[in-house]
Amino acid sequence: MTSSMTSVLNRSQKKANRPSDEQLAAFGAELDALRERTLSDLGERDARYIRRIVAAVRYTEVLGRGLLFFGLFPPAWIVGTLLLGIAKILDNMELGHNVMHGQYDWMNDPHLSGKSFEWDLVGTSDHWRKTHNYNHHTYTNIKGMDEDIGYGVLRLFPEQRWRPFFLGQPIYALIFALLFQWGVAIQDLRFGKFFNGKKSGKEMLGEMKPFLKKARRQLIKDYVIFPLLAGPFFVPVILGNLVANGIRNLWTYTIIFCGHFTADVQLFPKKVLKDETRGHWYFRQIRGSSNLTGSKLLHVMSGNLSHQIEHHLFPDIPAHRYAELSVEVRAICKRYGVHYNAGSLLSQFSQVIWRILRYSLPSKYVPINASA
Amino acid sequence: MTASQTLKRFVAPLVDPAVYDFWAQKLSPTLSWERCLARIESRHVEARDTISLVLKPNRRFQGFQPGQHLNVTVEVNGIRLTRSYSPSNALRSDGRIRLTIKAIPEGKVSRHLVHHSKVGDVVELGTTFGDMTLPKEAAAWLFVAAGSGITPIMSLLQTLLQKPLEQPVALIYWARTRADLCFSEDLHSLGKCDPLLKIHTVLTRESERLPGELDGRPREALFRNLVPDLERRRVYVCGPDGFVNSVRELVEPQAALFRAESFSPAPVVTRAGAPVTVTLSKSNISVQIPSGTPLLKALEDSGLKPAYGCRMGICNTCSCQKQSGSTTDTRNGTVQNEPSPVRLCINSANSDLTLEL
């Protein structure tokens, strides 16, 4: 009994193991070399890949929307809705998310430019570039800086203080999942500040303008224009679009939560930022992320965020390269004794659900400095 | 405004140009909402390592004036690269343009176009520029070309010869060997069509000369013999940098008018720390910054406030289009001379730059 206890302890200690500063310097140099090797190899192959994804988005959207016009016929409605859902998922993840990281900027193609790409979501791309590309990717899993930790509504780590509010968390999590695109869209608007009087209504409205404009455009597209085009058969189109958006919301939520909120993922205090070296930064990215193992289809449909670790190490390398990079990243991690968190969708998502349920209930508050 | 333009303006807010282009190009590969694309209609070997391409632009093309350059963008190994080439024909009523391109040893675009482009390929055309154009009034001309510098001159000559000449026109055309001469047949027949036109070829590396061919570098005696009335000639020169400079020294003081275009060499790279000029094209500001310093910091030190995020090359917030100049990625030392997006926080200037900021 005692021996098995120790082995459990050892295992979790091993997962949190942080190599020495010198080891981390060498670790960082190896990852840098891998990065350079990949960057210098970018070319035709990557260009062809992303254009195939663009084509897949275009065809699935047209087929999906086309079939929904015949939505009174149930099989057409089902297939149409699924195809539109797939189009939206691909557009958001493998295309939009990745292009906006500047992964294809080297192609110098104005339609694939990270700075100007706009996606089929209610949130504006500009807003996403700030909350995600900047906040989340620079300050990954640093408590108090990375606002993706629970998105301000969920308690997922013992390092967050419990309040009775969190008892309702299983419900909030479900609502958040269904409305994920809206949650992400308003993440940076800070309604909290407005409600406790730190921001005037006028300021609030001003900040909301780009979001309102984008949301209006999206709503008109999905719930007015396309239904109108269907004439008398507008009801199945509205429903199909609603369900397709819902499918996309649930899927992206699942993938993103599996990437950062599995059982062994670690949080960091702000103090790690002081004199953080490249090696430390890489270490934090790996310990703050978790991968999904699975088929090629899973990787494409998740925008290769199933390789969340590689994405966090190299956010500007085309994501379809992550699968081949992961072999080397895993080997490098093994050499330095850094835990590489990977598991099936089922196993990782169960751990997410466990966190949502477990930390809705009171638990001993663990001060962040002690945990790191 | 035509009916189609009015319609276009009306529906523009509903159209995503990327989506329009995707579907339109299934019908015809040069259709585009707002970009000027052109299809390669034919290829013709013009001289050693040199081909002429006839392009058919779509309706977005604004046209060019004979003697001007045109930005041409092609995709090579997944990367879009832009170079300037001069159309080598007079304006045609069907809108087609002929580009004559010589493959240069390190030239990614020229080698691609000469060795790998096929009929049916699509290239993008950009802005036209250059002031070696023809005035309305008749004039006595001397055209001086070296190597592929013949291309704009050919366009000018063909345009001039659409009407009988009123005043004398001369072309002195330098090439290395006979095999390097472009438009041999065209020039030969042009030379016969108007007695006021004189064409001289100068070959610098040909072992045996045929009657009428000259040799040697540009020199005063040669110009004096071939064009004794230099003082009444307007002179246009096009060729490599060194060539243009030596002709300028010999001819400019005497000619009635002198204009020259030389092939733009790679950006002049300075030593680290030396000042370079950064032009911000959207804000219309120029500042001097030290080369070798990350652009973000250097611009901030000059009192500017470009958008930024992580300051370490991750978030892409400070990325902007570099329109010209050479930069170094400070993380790995990679030098980038092509126009491309740059992240200001991890790139430093090697030369004068133009940024779309």
Q: Per-residue DSSP letters for A40-65?
A: TT-SHHHHHHHHHHHHHHHHHHHHHH
B315/A108 Cβ within 8 A: no
Angle value at C-alpha B138, between B137 and B140, nearest 5 degrees: 135
Give how far A109 is from chain B: nearest CA, Å.
Answer: 7
SS3 letters across A134-199: HHHHHCCCECCCCCCCHHHCCCCCCCCCCCHHHHHHHHHHHHHHHCHHHHHHCHHHCHHHHHCCCC
Measured over the CA atoms of residue A34, residue A39, residue A45 and residue A48, the dihedral's sign is positive
Under the banding of pLDDT at 50, 70 and 90, the label for residue A18 is confident
Strand B319-324 vs strand B353-355: parallel, antiparallel, or unpaired?
Answer: antiparallel
Distance CA A82, CA A341 (A): 31
Distance CA A346, CA A349 (A): 5
Asked whether the predicted pLDDT for residue A162 surpasses 60, the reply is: yes
Give how far B40 is from chain A: nearest CA, Å.
Answer: 20
Under the banding of pLDDT at 50, 70 and 90, the label for residue B3 is confident
Q: What is the pLDDT of residues A314-334, one digit of tens each?
A: 999 999 999 999 999 999 999
Across the interface, which of B312, B313, B341 has its CB nearest the CB of A113? B341
Q: What is the pLDDT of residues B155-176, one digit of tens each?
A: 999 999 999 999 999 999 999 9
B80/A316 Cβ within 8 A: no
Q: Which residues of B touch A316 (CB under 8 A)?
A: 313-314, 316
Across the interface, which of B17, B77, B309 has its CB nearest the CB of A134? B309
Helix (H, G, I), strand (E, B) or coil at B350: coil
- Selection from A329, A365, A261, A239 nearest residue A27 by Cα: A329
Angle value at C-alpha A10, between A9 and A12, nearest 5 degrees: 65
Q: Which residues of B touch A59 (CB under 8 A)?
A: none
Q: Which residues of B touch A66 (CB under 8 A)?
A: none
Under the banding of pLDDT at 50, 70 and 90, the label for residue A74 is very high
Over residues A285-295, the mean pLDDT reads 96
Q: What is the pLDDT of residues B221-279, one digit of tens each?
A: 999 999 999 999 999 999 999 999 999 999 999 999 999 998 866 566 777 788 999 99
Across the interface, which of B79, B80, B315 has its CB nearest the CB of A138? B315
**Residue from B296, B315, B331 to probe the interface with A (highest A Cβ count within 10 Å):** B315
Over residues A177-194, the mean pLDDT reads 86
Give how far A137 is from chain B: nearest CA, Å.
Answer: 7
Asked whether the predicted pLDDT for residue A4 surpasses 70, the reply is: no
Distance CA A7, CA A13 (A): 10
Q: In the structure encoding, which two tokens stand for residue A359, read together?
A: 């930390």
Long-range Cβ contact pairs of A205-211 (< 8 A, separation 24 or more): A210/A124, A210/A126, A210/A127, A211/A122, A211/A123, A211/A124, A211/A127, A211/A185, A211/A186
Which pLDDT does position A362 carry in this prediction? 95
Which A positions 69-108 lie with beta carbon below 8 A of chain B?
100-102, 105-108
Q: Which residues of B touch A115 (CB under 8 A)?
A: 316, 319-321, 341
> Is A30 touching B (CB cutoff 8 A)?
no
**A·B CB contacts under 8 A:** 88
Q: Backbone phi, then psi, for B85, in 5-degree steps?
A: -130, 155
Q: Which residues of B touch A109 (CB under 8 A)?
A: 80
Which pLDDT does position A225 carry in this prediction? 93
A36/B332 Cβ within 8 A: yes
Distance CA B107, CA A344 (A): 48
Distance CA B33, CA A195 (A): 45
Which pLDDT does position B13 carry in this prediction? 77
Distance CA A308, CA A313 (A): 9
Beta-bridge partners for B319: B343
ipTM of this complex prediction, to 2 decimal places: 0.88
B310/A44 Cβ within 8 A: no
> Is A316 touching B (CB cutoff 8 A)?
yes
Over residues B167-187, the mean pLDDT reads 95
pTM over 0.80: yes
A102/B309 Cβ within 8 A: no
